[in-house]
Amino acid sequence: MRRVLKKHIAYHEAGHAVIAWKLGYDVSSLTIVPPPDTDKQGVTYWNVPGGGVASPEDYFMVALAGQVAESKVSDHFTGLEESLKPV
């Protein structure tokens, strides 16, 4: 994977993780290595403490945070459609 693409993916996934954490969710892991058996370039796993369900507002804030963070280093967005799909 190209270094520039890795940087974009790292910012993107970090955006998800930071906003999830700031909203009080547990961020269990983040990777910029493509997970096996998926077409994703990176992934951030975050959970509601106690096993609940995130509100739609929080879900969309976390989902869109990847693109916002990535916009700080690029005018190209990776994974917008993937970010909006439920896990």
| CA proximity to 26, closest of 46, 52, 44 | 46
Domain residue limits, the chain = 1-50
- Adjacent-strand bridge partners of 47: 26
The pLDDT of residue 35? 73
Mean pLDDT estimate for the chain:
84
Task: Check pLDDT > 70 for residue 77.
Answer: no
Q: Is 9 exposed, middle or buried (0-12, 13-18, 19+ CB in 10 A)?
A: buried
pTM confidence score: 0.80
pLDDT digits (tens, 9 = 90+) for 13-53: 999 999 999 999 999 888 888 777 777 788 888 998 888 88
